Amino acid sequence: EDKVVQSPLSLVVHEGDTVTLNCSYEVTNFRSLLWYKQEKKAPTFLFMLTSSGIEKKSGRLSSILDKKELFSILNITATQTGDSAVYLCAVNFPGNTDKLIFGTGTRLQVFP
């Protein structure tokens, strides 16, 4: 059965800390891995990763994929209270349409 597992489930840190969120997957056919940030409402897109070892970076956020070991990490440096959210990982596998399998998410809380 295809699945995506995220860890930790929840994380509480202080502003300025660096955090690493993990996403491992087991899918029969892999096309890409996506990271989303979900605050109160809709998930917003962060990164899409398709190739191993190539880091994607946006400000204080970065992500990398390891297709051999079937996992990805999302790093956030110098965390701010505005980073507080649920971070979702999803894997896209090819088919008739682009279906995503989501993990349950990591809830990050950043306190001042």
- Using CB under 8 A as the binding rule, whether residue 2 contacts other proteins is answered as no
Q: Which is nearer to other proteins, 66 or 98 (CB)?
A: 98
- Using CB under 8 A as the binding rule, whether residue 102 contacts other proteins is answered as yes
- Using CB under 8 A as the binding rule, whether residue 72 contacts other proteins is answered as no
Number of residues lying near other proteins (CB under 8 A):
24
Side-chain-facing half-sphere of 1: CA atoms under 13 Å: 3
Query: Contact 45/98 with Cβ under 8 angstroms?
Result: no
- Cα 23 versus chain centre, distance: 6
SS3 content of the chain, % helix, strand, coil (to 5): 5, 60, 40
Of 13, 19, 27, 100, the one binding other proteins by CB under 8 A: 100
CB count within 10 Å of CB 52 equals 12
- Using CB under 8 A as the binding rule, whether residue 41 contacts other proteins is answered as yes
Would you give the DSSP letter of residue 80?
-
Of 44, 51, 81, 109, the one binding other proteins by CB under 8 A: 44
- Using CB under 8 A as the binding rule, whether residue 99 contacts other proteins is answered as yes
Binding-site ranges for other proteins (CB under 8 A): 4, 31-32, 34, 36, 41-45, 48, 88, 90, 92, 96-105
